[in-house]
Structure 1
Amino acid sequence: MKSWLNRAAVPLGLAAFVALLAQVPLLRNPNFYFTDDSAAQFLPMWHRLGEQLLAGNWPPLLDNDSWMGGNLAAEALFGVWNPVNLANYLLVAGLDDLALSAAVVKTEFLVLLALGVYLLCREYGAARWASAALAAALPFGGFTLYFQASTWVAGLMAFAWVPYVWWSARRSARGELYPLWPFIFGALCVTNGNPYGVLGVCAVLFGLLVEFWLRKDKPALRRVLLVGLCVAAVVPLVFLPLLGASAVGLRTGKELFNIGQLVPSLTDLLNLSLPSHLPGIRAFDPSAYRMTVPATYFAWFVLPLLAWLDFGVLKRRWRELAAVFTVAAGYLLLSLGPSNLWMFRWPLRHVESLFLALAVLTAVLLTAGLRTDRLRERVLATGGILLLSGYLAFSAWPKISARHLLSLALLAGLTALVVLAARSGGRWTGRLSAAVLCGGTAVVLVLQTGWQPANADVAAYRFPASTAQLHEQFAKRYRGTTVQIADRGLPGPNGENRDVLFGNMYAAAGVGTPTAYTGMGFKPLHKALCLTFYGGTCRKAYPALFQPTESGASLADLLRVETVVVQRSLFTTPEHKPAPVPGAKVEPDPLAGLPEPAYPPVVYPGWRVEESNDAVTVLRRVRSLDWPQGRLSQVSGGVRVISDEQRGQRTELVRFTRSEQSGGKAELTFARLNWPGYTATVNDQPVAVRNGPGGTVVVELPAGTRSGELRLHWDPPGYQIGIGSALAGLLAALALCVVRFRSRRRTAGDGRFGAFR
């Protein structure tokens, strides 16, 4: 028991330390973890997903009220097959404050990442103190903290599992761990739905193949390959829906070009230890020529200690460290690559994986001990490294020279303390060194979050964080499906987020809207209402909503819209048309023939003005909609609907009759988007499903059918294949465990867990 406690003391202390450091950014910016995509996309949808789970809707693959953003299986980034994610969604649904929810969940994954790095460094023979120092530093690297943790949380959630995959796969290959563990960690990474996580799994497994091939360890090589195949079997479950929906999506994922966006240079990557360095990387503001955050910062001690490290250990252990070298080299090339490479945009996203490999190498070097001979030469070399770092930072932005000088003084002082600890010798050397390394990480974090309390390179939405406030402010005013004719960033006299919301915030407010955030889009509805990915529209979306379609009904009727919110400034401010993206196909404007609308908006028959102020005009449908229990919006051909019932999000049942005298087509239109995967039966006989106006679902009744039941159901493309493939991967991993267990029993006399070969 005492031995176990001794082993657990460092990881537990590390977890507490990282959890404490994760709160430092909140001291200056309470919404640090609730910004950009975290605010517009993830947190409000997590809240909606938690509500769906509490309502018994599992797995939550579809959210009809989010329309273009509601194909949760195809959006992938929500990780609806990941049990850890689902547990967190339940937690978010139980908390009123979305900013607090973001801080809790992101702290959890920063701690998970740190523990994974610690285990990985220990696996490569690094000492506890050195492993803990690197594990505490990596989660607070510039990109991980300011981009992954602050905004792009799906990347953080996937990246956090990569060290566990690496650690468990290597231990399993060496016979020290059952193969079920790398399968579990690999599945947790893959089911997060982030392609960069899948790339990370592939990279570390490939690196291990290289390592054991160089070591001529065929059994280990075979084990890595088999485990990799088991993990690969989970991929179809997550990504087949994305591929299946690509036919109607806006993002094809086939781009290959370079516009320099979020592409770091080699000098940016070399200056990875100076806290004040702001790299000259092009972000999203076309007028900016440098970033506002230290996106390429890794750890304060890596460069200053270079002159004191014994690099001979890398030469002596190069075969054991071959996987680390392979991963580092691969991610270095990716970090310097083109801005768009298939589905992998923005090479800056690869930097943290490069730093993961560097963390392992640094931990191994620190464990070998600092060399304190030839003291004068080493001091001069360290001074030269610091001066070069300072010059590069000064060149990037001379205006903040005071910060650069403070950073250089801090690094010089901390480096001196580490060297003094190493020269002291004795049993406390490692602990003293760890205290200085981790203490320096904390000091740097305080400085950086004081200098840059928020990531100004991404969108600052400033949404209300309280779901109770959102319900009070919007759900009571905007009832039923609500279409918002508005654009983000336009001025409003009533302040931000009082009358309009963007992204998925209406999901947190309990309002269904076609103007939701989407990572992939839906072409027919996008063209019909000129929707943007964050939920904005153009002016002509207003008349387009009420124009008769080819079915005779308007889109407002076919979508079962009950409320329309029209933003005044959209009509009184010159319309902004974004510049075309280089390399992207330019589509013609589908609303070009519509007249330019005016403000106040024309009130169409069947609608009335419910509310009007200096910011918006709110219109409400006069008559209640038919079939309130389902999503049926129009019938033709003499069909009389007896009942329409929605069962969950994916299934709808309609009981109907049709008069003997009626002729022609009998069609039923549903206020659902016709995502690939819909099937329909009439009296248990399959019938076709086609696109209606705006991409709505249309089902034609078979000729001669006079009564019966129509069942409409949606499964993501590849649904059964994906489930079967994932189960096959799990069974294969269990089978490998059985084989390993039997092999272990046969060699039990050796008294060693990993004796079997």
Structure 2
Amino acid sequence: MAAREKTVQKSASTTGRWAWPVLTAALTLVLAASRLVVTPRFYFSDDTERGSAGQWWQLGDQLLQGRLPMLDPSAWQAGNYWAEGQWGLLNPVTWLIAIAARLSESPVLHATVVKLVFLVILSLGVYLLARQFGAHRPWAALAGVLVPVSGFVVYMDAASWSTDLFNVALFPWAWWALRRAVEHRRSPFPYLLVSYLLITIGYVFGVMMLVVILVETLVRHAVRRDGARVVRTLLASAWGALLTIVVYLPAVLTAPVTERGDAPFENLRFLNADLTDLASAGNPWVSATIRSWGTEATEGPLVHIAWALLLLPLALPLARSAVRRGIPLFVLGGVALVLVLGPSHMGPIRWPLRLIPYLAIVLVVVFAVGISRRYPQGATRRAFWLSGVVIGATSLLTWGNGPYAWKAILAAAAVAFAALVVLRWIARAPRVRRRAAWAAVASMAVTAVFVAGQLYFLPTSPLPSRDAPDSASALESVLPDAHGDGIVVGDAEDGWQDDASWDERLIANLWYFSPTDVSSMYTVLPFETFGDDLCIDLRGKTCEAALDTLWSVDDETGLRVSDLMGVSTIVAMKDTYPDEPEAPEGWTLAEEGEYTWLFERDEALPAAGGVVWTADGTAVSVTAQSDTEVTFTVDAAGEDGRVVLSRLPYPGYSVDGAVQVDAVRGWLLTVDVSDAAPGDSVTVSFRPPAWPLLVGSYVLALAVGAGWLVGGAILRRRRAAAREALR
């Protein structure tokens, strides 16, 4: 009989162990998917539509051909993939996403599935992290549900900024795995794996937060003089630092020639918060006074963290053991809070509100830990009324920021107060068993109510969607007959409201779907002199003067700028050029559309990347050419020995057999062969700047990881043998 009872208890324990994380994942998936009922393209907004979708397609296409792209001269300022970082060239998860994108007919469905998967990954990571810091399973499950529905995660990261979502989703896993390896002396493999994925995504904010927890862990154990844990933390830090060098150093060394090179420290009140904004952290239905693109109050709950924070008095005070264990939470939360409230531009680090998901992780985990110890005993009358005061005070402050939203503020306060009453009743009801479990489930139900309200009050992301065709075949059908390299001039988004306009043009990275190589792509590192000359922005839009510039004759070379770029196809937007532009000799209007003028060069030029001009008295013959290298033979070397290539002079180019000189027009790679003799061979090659250091860092990182794995396994085996011997 006793054995049977023990078996039943063990079975119940196992069921509970799995039931709560399964519930967390399932409810997260249901809540995330529910947004599609109202807004089917919710997860295909802005940077996903104009950036990630085409980027994944292109990377998947290259991978399926057995190539890992490094540089694409035809993409011009968007073609330095290693410096761009967010292509995730070293990230196997990004590879899988990219290959799936290339094989998918529906970019919207593909992106939606990817976002839903990562929201579930985030929920389970928060669950594990909360458990590790001492939260009981029901409250850890609630924490796992709350973070993926926090405002910035949903309305910015999940809707648009894919790489930021990936960072946020992996971060709690990396933190959990770090603590598992350092604090509990377990295998470092989970940390090595997850931190590798986090860093190689190429989005810096998650890496910044990883640095914070590594420094906190190192300092804490150094103060305690815990040598073994200090060593493990140093190994974890070395692994991360070496990978960070590989992923981010190319961008740092490339920045001087880009618009990021002289980024100032200033506060433009752009995507950063103030203290009154944080009053709405518990209200999912209102917008704070967050300034962003074209608006003083971005329409979205960007500072919403969790409605349950309004009930924080029920979780306080924290037990001393929880405070000691929670020191890492307080440190990371403090740093995140300072940055969120800091200036909007800190050099190349912009828009610190992007760190609010990390503040959300900390605050929700602290709440889960606190209420695990205090509920139901802590649901006193005093805590009840204090929570009511918090609900009222924060609602009043939120109303002060946006009195126009008084209905949503009042409704949210009513729901939160009703939740407070229910949790108080559950805590005091004499016949209710497993009060914590029922309270957590009730809180999840309240979370679902708040999400349902968002579908009414705030159904879309504040970041726009351009309603691009949800068909890879349709996107591929634009400019299907490649006539050399192309470029778009004017407002590339003209006519997006009309489905027919997509037959004539694409936008930003969606051009990767087209068989024609078009340079009007999305980049996070706009090449400054190139952008100034062609007045082109980071998403490929240009001013009206760009067409005149392309067809103008360069003073130094005597060639048209379009010829120097190897451009043979020009798409001119009618919104910018309502009257037919007058084409110069050698160019023809190939097609007049409803939205565009399509011009083609009578004789298509070779794609960008090769030699496009040599000075008088100088002649060369190209013998080999690829995206990253050009080799030519010097036939004659005049007094002016300049040779111009249709490439941007990124840091990382090296010249063997000649010397690199000042770029023609400030943005065309130029070498001087004056000192070469006829018959000499010259090779111009590109590798990301500090390439030997990058390779060495990567190899050393792998060595550190392998050494930690092997050494840790040996030590654990010895400890196990010693324990066995003592028995």
2:355 to 350, 353, 371: 350
> Which amino acid in 1 is paired with 2:298?
M
User: Is 1:234 matched with 2:240?
Assistant: no
Q: Residue 633 in 1 paired to residue 609 in 2?
A: no
Q: Deviations over 1:562-611 (max 9, x none)?
A: 11122232145xxxxxxxxxxxxxxxxxxxxxxxxxx4212101111111
Alignment of 1:226-625 (within 5 A): 226-252=235-261, 254-285=263-294, 288-303=295-310, 305-313=311-319, 315-372=320-377, 375-424=380-429, 428-456=434-462, 458-472=463-477, 474-476=478-480, 479-488=483-492, 497-549=502-554, 550-571=556-577, 599-625=579-605
Q: Deviations over 1:338-365 (max 9, x none)?
A: 1111222122112111111112211111
Q: 1:421 to 1:227 in 2, by over 3 A?
A: same
Change (3 A) 1:751 1:356: farther
Q: Are 1:310 and 1:371, in contact at CA under 8 Å, matched by a contact in 2? A: no
Q: Quick check: 1:674–1:690 contact (8 Å CA) kept in 2? A: no
**Residue in structure 2 matched with residue 20 of structure 1 by the alignment:** 30
Partner of 2:131: 122
Is contact 1:50-1:91 (8 Å) kept?
yes
Q: Secondary structure at the match of 2:257?
A: coil
Deviations 1:443-491 (A, max 9, x none): 21221133212123x344332232211121x222663311211125656
Superposed displacement of residue 261, structure 1 = 1.4
Match of 2:191 in 1: 182
- Stretches of structure 2 that go unaligned for 5 or more consecutive residues are 1-9
Q: Deviations over 1:132-178 (max 9, x none)?
A: 11011101100111111111222111222221221111121123322
Distance (Å, rounded) in 2 between the aligned partners of 1:5 and 1:671: 64
Structure 2 CA distance, aligned partners of 1:720 and 1:180?
27
Query: In the TM superposition, what are the counterparts of 1:698-737 in structure 2 within 5 Å?
Result: 698-701=670-673, 703=675, 705-707=677-679, 710-737=682-709
Q: Give the alignment partner of residue 658 of structure 1, picking from 635, 651, 668.
A: 635
In structure 2, the residue corresponding to 1:618 is in which secondary structure?
A: strand
Please identify which structure carries the higher helix content. Answer: 2
Give the secondary structure class of the aligned counterpart of 2:324. Answer: coil
Q: Contact (CA 8 Å) 2:218, 2:230: kept in 1 or not?
A: yes
Output one character per residue of 1:352-407: Cα deviation in whole Å (capped at 9) or x when no partner. 11111112211111211424578443433332222223323333333333323322
How has the CA–CA distance of structure 1 residues 631 and 24 changed in structure 2, closer, same or farther, with 3 Å as cutoff? farther
SS of corresponding position for 1:669: strand
Partner of 1:136: helix, strand, or coil?
helix
C-alpha contact 2:158 2:165 (8 A) present in aligned 1? yes
CA distance in 1, matches of 2:365, 2:676: 71
Asked if the contact 1:493–1:615 (Cα under 8 Å) also holds between the matched residues in 2, the reply is: no
SS in 2 for 1:712: strand
Matches within 5 A, 1:7-46: 7-46=17-56
Q: How far off its partner does 1:629 sit? A: 11
For the aligned residues, what is the CA RMSD? 2.9
Q: How far apart, in 2, do the equivalents of 1:245 and 1:52 lie? A: 24
Whichever residue aligns with residue 716 of structure 1, its letter is P
Native 8 Å contact 1:546 1:555 kept in 2: yes
Matched, 1:697 2:669: yes
Whole-angstrom CA distance in 2 between matches of 1:540 and 1:445? 47
Aligned residue number for residue 48 of structure 1? 58
2:668 partner letter: T
Residue equivalent to 2:650: 675
Tell me the SS of whatever aligns to 1:317. helix
**What residue ranges of structure 1 are gaps of 5+ in the alignment?**
573-598
**Does the aligned pair in 1 maintain the 2:658–2:673 contact within 8 Å?**
no
Q: Percent identity?
A: 27
Partner AA of 1:293 in structure 2: G
Counterpart secondary structure, 2:583:
coil
1:306/1:633 CA distance change after superposition, 3 Å: same
C-alpha distance 669-711 of structure 1, shift in aligned 2 (>3 A): same
Distance 1:450 1:708, change over 3 A: farther
CA contact (8 A) 1:245 1:676 kept: yes
Structure 2 SS opposite 1:23: helix
Separation in structure 2 between the aligned mates of residue 613 and residue 628 of structure 1, nearest angstrom: 25
Separation (CA, whole Å) in 2 of partners of 1:712 and 1:418:
70
Greater shift, 612-621 or 143-152, is seen at 612-621
The TM-score, its normalising length taken from structure 2, stands at: 0.91
What amino acid maps onto 1:359 in structure 2?
A: V
